[in-house]
Structure 1
Amino acid sequence: MLHQIYISIGSNVERDKYTRAGLNGLFAEFGELTLSNVYESEAVGFSGSHFYNMVVGAKTCKSVQQVCEILKSIENDNGRVRGEKKFAPRTLDLDLLLYDDVVTEDGVVLPRHEIDYNAFVLIPLCEIAGDVIHPVHQISIAAMLANYDQSQQKLWTIEFNWSPATL
C-alpha cells in the first residue's frame, strides 16, 4: 500500500549544498517528489544564520519507522551533528510531518507539532498539501494557514532550482 508522506527540509550551514543533498537523498529513496518553494527565514529559538526551508511530498510503501530511519541516515550522510541543544545550526534537518492520517507519539510524533507554530513549515506545507486534512485538528492545512498569525515569523521565497541528480 502506498502512503502519502510530507517531509520538511531545513538547513542553515552551506544551505544551498545541503538542501540539494537532502533532495537528492529523498529522491534516491522515494522517487518522484512534490516540492514547495524554498523559503529563507531567520533562525528560530537561537541566534544563527538564516535557514532555507521547504516541504517535500512523496509516496512510499515503507513504515513510519523505516521512513524515520531513512531521514536520519540522509542527515547523517550529510554531516548532521546531533547535540544536546535542540536549537542549533545544522547542515540538514529532515522531519516527517505527516504520514497519511497517522496520529502517534510512539517513537515519533505525528503529525509534527511544528506544523502548528512554525511558518517555515506551515506555509510550504500548504503550498503542496493545502487540501489535506490535519489528522488532529480536522481542518485543512489551508484553513490552518488562514488562521495562523504570520506576523511572528518572517520568511521569503528564494530562487532555487533543483532537478534529480543522475543516480
Structure 2
Amino acid sequence: MTRIYLGVGSNTEREHHLRRGLDALEQLLGPLQLSPVFESDAVGILGTRFYNLVVAADCQLELGDLNAALKAIEAACGRREQSVAGRITLDIDILLYGDLRGRHEGVLLPRPEIVRNAFVLWPLALLAPEVQLPGSELSIAGLWNGWRGGQKVWPVAFDWHGQALTPELLLRQGLPAVDQAPGSGAA
C-alpha cells in the first residue's frame, strides 16, 4: 500500500462534480480522508472560481494505473481534452505518491503546485500537517507557515455523504487567506 494525496477541483457545477468525483474515488481506493473545501479564483486559465480539496488514501495501484484511473474518472464526469475553455468539470491531480520524487510514468512528483498554490497547500496542510514533502526538510505545515503568495482562498461549506467537510470554526473565520501565515488566524 502506498499513501497518496490527490488534489481535486471543479469550476463547473462544482458541488455536483466534486461529489461524483469523491464517490468514484471511494469506489477506486476505499476509505478516503478529506480536507476542508476551499474556493479560489482560477489560476492558469480564464474561468470561474474553483472549489478545491485534498484527498488522502492508501492505494494498491501502481502509479501509471492510478493516473489512468483518475483520467477515466475525470472523463466520466465530463472532462474532455477538448473541453470548453475555462470550464473544468473535474480535475484530479496526484500531489504525492508515497515518497516518490521526479518524473515517473509521465507524472512529476511531488506536484509543483503544492508549493505554488494556496488552494493546494492550505488543504494539504490541514489534512497532513506532519507529512514531509519528498525532497524537502520541511513538513507540509512548515511550507504553509512560510507561504507568501498572493492568491485568495476561502473556506466554503461542503458536505459529502452527510458529513460536513469544512469545520464551522474555519467557516466563521470566513476571510480569504492572502499573503499571511496561517498562524495569524487564517488557518
Query: Is the TM-score greater than 0.5?
Result: yes
- Which structure has the higher relative contact order (CA within 8 Å, separation 6+)? 1
C-alpha separation in 2, matches of 1:60 and 1:163:
22
Q: What letter is aligned with 1:60?
A: C
Count of residue pairs brought into register by the alignment? 161
- RMSD of aligned C-alpha atoms? 1.7
Write the mapping of 1:12-161 to structure 2, written as runs, cut at 5 A.
Answer: 12-83=11-82, 88-106=86-104, 107-150=106-149, 152-161=150-159
Structure 1 segments unaligned to the other structure (5+ residues): none
Q: When the two structures are superposed, what TM-score results if normalisation uses the length of structure 1?
A: 0.91
C-alpha separation in 2, matches of 1:59 and 1:130:
17
C-alpha separation in 1, matches of 2:35 and 2:50:
15
3-state DSSP of counterpart to 1:109 = strand
Return structure 1 stretches of 4+ with deviation > 4 angstroms: none
The percentage of aligned residue pairs carrying the same residue is 42
Counterpart in the other structure of 2:3: 4
Q: What letter is aligned with 2:75?
A: N
Q: When the two structures are superposed, what TM-score results if normalisation uses the length of structure 2?
A: 0.82
Structure 2 segments unaligned to the other structure (5+ residues): 163-187
- Give per-residue Cα distances to partners, 1:2-41, cap 9 Å, x unaligned: 1100001010000010000110010000110000001011
